[in-house]
Amino acid sequence: MKLFRFATSVLLALGLAVSSSLSASAAANVTVCEEASYYCVNTGVSGVTGYSGSDGSSSYNYDKDSQGNPIPHNCTSYVAYRFFKVMGYADLKYGQLGDASQWDTTAITKIPGAVLYPQPYKGDIAQWNYGHVAWIDYVKYTAAGNVDYIVVSEDTFNLGVTRQRRLYKSNLSAWPDNFIGLPIYGGGGGGHMVAMSMPVLP
């Protein structure tokens, strides 16, 4: 009986040590800002984006339901607005990406030059297969040149809030499934292609 208790105590101690080691290795994700207004996507790392619930273009319709009624909060609406502002005009191809869960595959098939990256870059789109997209405002690298964390800004349909979050690569529970780089065409579509992905070095 004593041997059994000793073995159980050792196993329990080892289990706690491993558990503590695993939890210590994954940094906790941080919600920097969360508001029902649009404040969180117009401050901090995002800067003043001008977003107020509209995707910025009557040709995108990410900010409307199937009956054409306005949707005050939608993740696709916010991301569409951000690349609309970067591009300076509405590119109809960017209004055909569908639900957020499909953006990785539809971007590759419908937008020439779109790329799925294995790692994030500033100005790319973070995408989760369950159906969410966010804008990558900042990428923090370690001294060794590896991604430490990203800062995303986002609008959310289910929660009805805008947010800024810091997501650590070591914390896989909230790490995006894909990183989408969309080409930005200058000069109203008649100019050169400008790569949207912009690595931010330490």
**pLDDT per residue over 16-58, tens digit each?**
444 434 444 688 999 999 999 999 999 999 999 999 999 998 8
Q: What is the pLDDT of residue 12?
A: 42
Q: What is the pLDDT of residue 17?
A: 43
Count of Cβ atoms closer than 10 Å to residue 33 Cβ = 18
pLDDT of 139 higher than 50 = yes
Distance CA 90, CA 193 (A): 15
Distance CA 103, CA 178 (A): 9
Q: What is the mean pLDDT of the chain?
A: 82
Task: Take residue 58 and report the two structure tokens written for it.
Answer: 């009557």
pLDDT of 186 higher than 70 = no
Binned at pLDDT 50, 70 and 90, residue 134 comes out as: very high
CB of 56 closer than 8 Å to CB of 81: yes
Q: What is the pLDDT of residue 165?
A: 97
Share of the chain above pLDDT 70, in %: 78
For residues 152-172, one letter each, b for 16 or more C-beta atoms within 10 angstroms of the residue's C-beta and e for the rest, the string is: bbbbbbeeebbbbbbbbbeee
Q: Compute CA distances 30 → 33, 34, 163, 191, whole Å.
A: 9, 11, 11, 40
